[in-house]
Structure 1
Amino acid sequence: MSIKGDLAMARVMSHCGGSPAAGLRFAAGAVVRDPGSLEPYQLLAEIREQYPDTGADRVGLAGLLTDAYLARLAGDMDAAATALAWVTGYRPDVPWADAPWFDDDLVAGLSPTGMGDAAIAVADAGQPLDGEKLTPWFRAIEAVCAREPVPEQMARMAIMLRFAGRIDESFALCDRADAIEPLMITSVVRGATHRHLGDGTATRRCYERALELDPGNWSLYLDLADLAAAEDDFTGAAQLTARGLEHEPDEPALRAAAAAYRARATGSGEAFDLFLTLAAAVEHTGYRKVLVGHALATPNLTTERLAAGRAFL
């Protein structure tokens, strides 16, 4: 179906077919076909205003596109950018920021926090990003940072740049942020980028710097412990998690990691048993499986303990 067909169906379903939700979906389909056209957005806004109670479409693709455009019309540039960013993260194969309303006026009204929120929304979906389709976003990042450089938000924007494959630009933005004020988050973002590149030494150096800036941050101890474990230094990993527990003794992932690394470092069956009691509370399935893998390599485990550990895989 063509964009004209989508728009025609949107009008028919909304006004004659008694299904404004379906009308919104067809209008959203028209945006997908031609992200640079204003007419589909105008129709989305028209349907929403005529039929404000459209149920689930408030949170779907059509709902987010409508929210973005209406926020832009209302002059709420942060909300407009963030809503469009969620759509971008969900469907990065479409150049959503080609929308005619994603213009210089929007960027001029975009705050550093709004741009940071939008950058995280794009990256958080975890989808592979196409840098060419994100060019307007890159221009917005540069404009906002040039106008009002806020180190914490610059670090958040650098995360999106890394996910988009703009590694050099991500490092450069972190450098600019550090030149204003060194922050823990900036060192963490830089470290995560080094980790993405497979440079464990540089990653560890960045996390250690982050810990200097925020010595009470338990998650940094866990990050460093995980790096040590990846290098088969389980004694170091156990020591680092123990230090983290001094700051946050009730954190489930930290407690489980401490038990797993202690079991691996010492060969303690009791530490392995403790890990088994804690593993279920680790919410991130992938991380839990990594810890199980480390713990299962504990020397001289009984058949029963091995079976109990493998049940988590």
Structure 2
Amino acid sequence: MDMAWSSVGPSGNAVVNLDNKLRATAKALQRWSDRWIGNIKLQIAIALEVIMSSVDSSFMDDSSSDEEFDFHEEEEIAMLVAMHKRKKLKHGGSAYGRAFIRRERIDAHKRLVRNYFASSPVFPENYFRRRFRMSKDLFFRICNEVKQHNLVFEQRRNCAGLPGHSIEQKVTAALRIMAYGVPADYIDDNLAMAESTSIFYVKQFAITMVEVFGPQYLRAANAQHTQRLLEMNKARGFPGMLGSVDCMHWKWKNCPKAWHGQFKGCGKDATIILEAVADYETWIWHAYFGTPGSCNDINVLDRSPLFANLANGEAPPVTFEANGRTYNYG
């Protein structure tokens, strides 16, 4: 343990240094346990096989007398063995009898880099923007931010010394699943990532994005931002305009039958309305989701919290002029 603890060199971040030392110590303890103790699950399985063989041999031995063979004891042993066979192992880690799939993660990483991130990629820039819904600069910015904030996105080696998935593979898997709504195992053949691993990185990516970019992008417009929107729209010929309000209907496939009348609008399917406000730079500074689909574009504003702060006098103080009249709100 002392050798494993001191084998990790110092780093600039004390928390990262402590995490690396604990990981090195845990791996050293695991290697010591495998060498001197062995696999506990395998030993239990061997012991059960020995017990079952003893039980079978005892039942097959006709010469055994009542003193040599206790039927009740053998029945209890057989019951314990049956209960152990019916017991399901917890998911996670290597399990006895579980199939191993060699997914070739390195080849998948090289193929992803060759297709999109090389100096002369297979697919041009417009293909990347259409499939990733963003530019390459924004993609690399997201990769750098999430890797610095969450250590699970770093490329590390497993217990066998093999390199794991790269940061590009992890972020690409999360973006594909979230943007296209595909199943978690749909990207296995392309990115060499199992279903459970994909789901794990999608959850970690969503949490990390909220923690990193939430204070800047997931907030309401403040006074400075509101004044900038007013000046920007005034220069474009729309004085007093903050943004464009738009509503769209999202289909609710699993809507309960009892709620169909409330959430069904002009179509036959139940929908939920998404309300958003954005400027011409596609900065979405307001979003509200959950209004029943039976509402139209007029009465949907009655349920929206968009003007609630304005009506309660809690909006940021701004001054603008429209139609020759000066307005002061705050």
TM-score (norm 2): 0.24
Comparing both structures, which one devotes a greater share of its residues to helix? 1
